[in-house]
Amino acid sequence: MINVTVLTDNNQITEFELSGHAESGPYGYDLVCAGVSAVTFGAVNAVIALCNIDLDIEQGEEGGYLRVQFPHSLNEEIMEKTQTLLEGMIVSLETIEREYSQFVKIHRK
């Protein structure tokens, strides 16, 4: 099971964490894992490239873990752009969760 935890403060995403493995198919053919990875890494790469900010990123060596923290001290325009990209990521993850709820759970705190 992949657990996605999204932390917010004042309706702003401040951090998200993914842990676990979907195990919906054999290694290298796990489409749920591939989808979750593509969505999250795509969003993180988009934030870095389009918002030009440094993120605090922690990854597990064997996969199955990703934690990303976002700076609190961003100007309003960059914060808005970052949040839009992150909300897009959440919408995509929720779409995966609806189809594959036995493999993915999203928790908001």
Tell me: the pLDDT tens digits for 42-57? 999 999 999 999 899 9
CATH of the domain at 83: 3.30.70.1490
Cβ contacts of residue 88 below 8 Å, gap of 6+? 43
Annotated active-site residue in 33, 51, 72, 107: 33
Amino acid 96 reads I
63: pLDDT confidence band, cut at 50, 70 and 90?
Answer: confident
pTM of the full structure:
0.91
Q: Is 21 a catalytic residue?
A: yes
CB atoms within 10 A of CB 40: 19
Asked about 72 being catalytic, the answer comes back as: no
How many domains, the chain?
1
**How many angstroms separate the CA atoms of 4 and 65, rounded?**
10
Question: What mean pLDDT is predicted for residues 51-80?
Answer: 90
Q: Which residue range forms the structural domain that includes residue 8? A: 2-108
